[in-house]
Homo-oligomer: A and B are copies of this chain.
Amino acid sequence: MSKVQMRQPARGTGEPHRGHFVYVKLCEALRQGKFAPGQKLKLREIAGQFDTSLTPAREALQRLVAQKILTSNLNSTITVFDPTAKEFLEFTRIRIDLECLATEWALENISPEQLQVISNKHDKYKQALQRHNWQQVVAANEKFHMSIYEAADMPNLLEIIQDIWLKMGPTIGQYLSKKGFIESRELTDTHDDLIDALSSKNKRAAQKAVKQDIETLAQYIYRIKNMSD
């Protein structure tokens, strides 16, 4: 059977092209923890999965490689970024810096409506926590933090932060799925502290909460990561 691929419009009006579509879908999958760190991604598999040719599939992969979300190895294989323990610490340090910066700006600009939105996100996070569904917890946690950083009104900073979250996503997801941590109440408390600090515009306290939130999770993962080495 000679399966000939139906040609897609070369450039839909305004619509993103096919390579971008594959890219977005891969990002989603990455965020949902559907890929493990170090996992190999094959060109023809992805092309088949999205019913497209090699060209858009390759574009999407190369784009993720450029963002260092995927890693291009010497033998031309492409794998999901799998940071060493040292790299994990480095990104943790960078995250603290950038997310404290975003928090500082958010705190200065934030409106009561935005604060309410943030509080709602935290409620959703707590609900997911009670359901013991780590995948929902991760998603809700991301939405909570991003809603704060969005309030900073620094779109380029937001992108850099989201980039790093995507890079670390698979690693964090991998370790969070090993139950145990989500029982901890530490993160809920730091979220509460953060909301309080934002509403009282206490910059020092807000940054302290952000730092603690990042470090609590990171230290947990770093411990396991070192053990498995």
Contact = CB atoms under 8 A, between A and B. Distances in A.
Contacts of A154: 90, 93-94
A76 interface: yes
Interface in A155-169: 155-157, 159-160
A101 B66 CA distance: 24
Nearest to A67: B66
A11 B67 contact: no
Q: Majority SS of interface residues in chain A?
A: helix
Contact of A14 (B55, B62, B74, B87): B74
Interface residues of A, number: 30
A126 interface: no
Interface string A140-161: 0000000000000011110110
Interface in A94-141: 94, 97-98, 101
A101 B91 contact: no
Contact of A156 (B11, B76, B87, B157): B87
